[in-house]
Amino acid sequence: MGKVLKPRFESDELKILRYLDTRMVLSPSDKQHYLNLKKGYEGEVMFDQRTEKLTCDCLILNDLLFKVNSTTFQIDSLIIFQGTIRFFEIKNFEGNFIYEDECFQTVGNKKIANPHHQLIRSDLLLHQLLQSHKIILPIEAQVVFVNPQCTLYECPCNKPFILPTQMDAYLAKLDNTPSKLSEKHSSIAEKLISLYIKKSPYTQLPSYKYEHLRKGNICPLCFSFSIKVVGSKLICLECGYEEKVENAVMRNVKEIMLLFPEMKITTNLVHEWCQVIDSKRRLSRILDKNMEIVGVGQWAYYENR
């Protein structure tokens, strides 16, 4: 069975951009950056859903950032098989592309960097990394185009690309390759997990201030601000999503902490942020129950337990 040893999570950068996108007007370039990250993440999740279904003996490590000789590189997905380490550069390209002069061109003649070049770079750096830790196993690298709405014309067939129409056959082939993992493979996985960089140094966020953000509880499903309190629940007037008040408050606290890690969580702050819950006493009860109170009286604030 395929085992996911390192799952993928949404990055803080993507979460923050999503919050900001609902609470302020992003500049066109920030908005584009947000949409690119979102699309990339969705593509990666699409691929994860496929690799999780592998039934052969393999270890799956998703979303890894490494540093070797002061150069960082990203691996979208890495799978350890008995005889090979395979890694994948995942692309969620959508639409028609023409392969020309080692470049990807859109039908509108826009040039897009060839992901093969990125793959070659990562391949080289991963070799160096494994070598420096005396890990000896052949590496195979591939670019996966996950979006079924992606067509690539005039692509030479010797490229390490897996096109949407080839994906099923490719995964079936992997699944049918005999693979029996041993202690050695687990220790390679552990080593790689110990080496990856937990927090990406490359975030690109706009500057934002507490005062400038629109306050209010956002529906986690449709991002609407139209919310009504009914008893112990919040109901979204747009999509009908129901959420317990307590869960919504704690979700908002997490959002404030991510957006403003330097701010102290107080009942007043959460009250102003959520808007929708009138009673401060009710908010305090929820915060008391879920968090640790520090200090007393008007100076009191809350921290994670």
Q: Does 234 bind Zn ion (CB under 5 A)?
A: no
* Residue range at the interface with Zn ion (CB under 5 A); choices 19-27, 70-78, 137-145, 213-221: 213-221
Least CB distance from residue 18 to Zn ion, whole Å?
Answer: 14
Q: Do the beta carbons of residue 126 and residue 72 sit within 8 Å?
A: no
* Residue range at the interface with Zn ion (CB under 5 A); choices 79-87, 232-240, 256-264, 289-297: 232-240
Q: Does 224 bind Zn ion (CB under 5 A)?
A: yes
Given candidates 208, 241, 260, 301, which one binds Zn ion under the rule CB under 5 A? Answer: 241
Cα–Cα distance for residue pair 289/300, rounded to 1 Å: 15
Encoded one letter per residue, x for contact with Zn ion by CB under 5 A and - for no contact, window 41-80 reads ----------------------------------------
Using the minimum distance from each CB to Zn ion, give the nearer residue, 22 or 82.
Answer: 22
Q: How many CA atoms lie within 13 A of 205 on its CB side?
A: 20
The arrangement of strands across the sheet holding 95-100 comes to: 111-112, 103-106, 95-100, 150-153
Q: Does 226 bind Zn ion (CB under 5 A)?
A: no
Q: Does 239 bind Zn ion (CB under 5 A)?
A: yes
Using the minimum distance from each CB to Zn ion, give the nearer residue, 82 or 224.
Answer: 224
Least CB distance from residue 234 to Zn ion, whole Å?
Answer: 10
Q: Does 225 bind Zn ion (CB under 5 A)?
A: no
Q: Which string of b and e fits 53-81 if b means at least 16 CB within 10 Å?
A: ebebbbbbbbbbbbebeeeebbbbbbbbb
Scanning the structure block, which residue is given the tokens 């937990």?
Answer: 198
Q: Which of 24, 149, 20, 8 has its CA nearest to residue 75?
A: 8
Q: Which residues pair with 243 in a beta bridge?
A: 234
Q: What count of residues does the chain have?
A: 305
Q: Which residues of this protein are in contact with Zn ion, per CB under 5 A?
A: 219, 221-222, 224, 236, 238-239, 241
